[in-house]
Amino acid sequence: MNNTRMRRRNGSPFHHSPEAVTRARENAGLTQKALAEQCGFSFQLLCDIEAGRRNATPERLRAMARVIGCPVADLQPSSGVTPLDDEPPMATERQAS
């Protein structure tokens, strides 16, 4: 299994808006630790995402939106990146196609 991380080029846009992630988490009444645990990633990663040091992958954005209870679009910047669908297709839907 290849565990190579893809790095964001300096100056390339984030998939998320750090301020929007923080605001949505706080509006949901969640701490950074609680959100990270419920999403299945580390507290440090969530801190880095909210501080704008690391990029949230589309999968992580979907996980955060699901736990927070908001559309993925609420966590993304208004311009500069391709908007993601709110939810990826379910595994059963992909198999049926």
Per-domain boundaries in the chain: 14-72
Higher pLDDT, 93 or 63: 63
Alpha helices in 1-97 (DSSP H): 18-27, 32-39, 43-51, 58-68, 91-96
What mean pLDDT comes out for the span 43-64?
93
On average, the pLDDT of the chain sits at 79
Name the superfamily (CATH) of residues 14-72. lambda repressor-like DNA-binding domains (1.10.260.40)
Confidence label for 78 from pLDDT (cuts 50, 70 and 90): confident
What mean pLDDT comes out for the span 35-55?
94
Phi first, then psi, for residue 34 (nearest 5°) are -65, -45
What mean pLDDT comes out for the span 77-93?
51
CB-neighbour burial class of residue 61 (10 A; exposed 0-12, middle 13-18, buried 19+): buried
pLDDT at 95: 40
